[in-house]
Amino acid sequence: MRYLVANLKMNKSFQETKEYLMFLATRYNDNKKVGLTLSLPYTYILMAKYLLEDKPIKIGGQNICEEEEGKCTGEISGNMLRSCGAQSVIIGHSERRKKFKEDNKIINLKIKSALKNRLSIILCIGESLSENKACKTMEILKEQIETAFKGLYENELENIMIAYEPIWAIGTGVIPTTKDISKVAKEIRKIIADDFSVSASEKMRILYGGSVNLKNITSLKNIKSIDGFLIGGACLDGGVLLQIASSL
């Protein structure tokens, strides 16, 4: 099974999203080889629940508040996401880490809140260009994983996918070599094996994200050590998303 998570980010109007969802609802075939999730802006989750009813497409959010309820103006809780139809949530995206100053400790609390609300998690991790150039990639990723997973039980990891998204590859058209992605994925599994168990590391689903498109998917899909992809820009065109899904 391969996984494809489409991160719509902050794009499309209500009408455009409706058309996008209706297009996918009619065109997406029950591809047993690919698990497709749409990570939507909050305001469109409920509409997606109705338009995609009975379709083999899962719905997710893009952020969750670490608090359960109350004095958090502008935030969204796990219960709100879940009760509107979301089954998963992206946590730790580099855009949120940077723009909204979300650190690894907050990300750990957000993960706990998502688990409590029965939401599966796509945890984004990734290094900046300067960290990459300074050969600090694995040091950064290890810190991101270990702080994010602090206090979790091994069985809870089954609800989490790790998306490796180098910051310098997001929206730039520049991607790491397949060899480098493979190496990072293996190192991530080693961290999970050391901290939890070999079995947990083998079960961990690892995605790659950053400038995935119709062209580079032909080589990216051959990386054996990853389980799928987190897609931004390319997923905004429903036709392209479907072509990527069917190429896996």
Q: Which of 128, 221, 233, 240 forms a contact with ligand 13P (CB under 6 A)?
A: 233
Which tokens hold the place of 68? Answer: 């359960």
Q: Determine contact, residues 55/31, Cβ cutoff 8 Å.
A: no
Rounded Cα distance, 54 and 237, in Å: 22
Count interface residues toward ligand 13P (CB under 6 A): 14
- Alpha carbons 208 and 223: distance in angstroms, whole number: 10
Q: Is 6 in the site for ligand 13P (CB under 6 A)?
A: no
171 scored as a contact of ligand 13P (CB under 6 A): yes
62/201 with CB nearer ligand 13P: 62
Cβ neighbours of residue 196 closer than 8 Å, sequence gap 6 or more: 149, 154, 157
Residues 6+ apart with CB under 8 A from 135: none
**Span 131-170, contacts to ligand 13P by CB under 6 A:** 165, 170
Q: Does 232 bind ligand 13P (CB under 6 A)?
A: yes
Active site residue 93: yes
- Active site residue: 66, 93, 95, 127, which one? 93
Q: Kind and range of the H or E element at 178?
A: helix 178-195
Catalytic residue among 102, 146, 165, 187: 165
154 as an active site residue: the answer is: no
Least Å from the CB of residue 165 to ligand 13P: 6
Which positions are catalytic?
93, 165
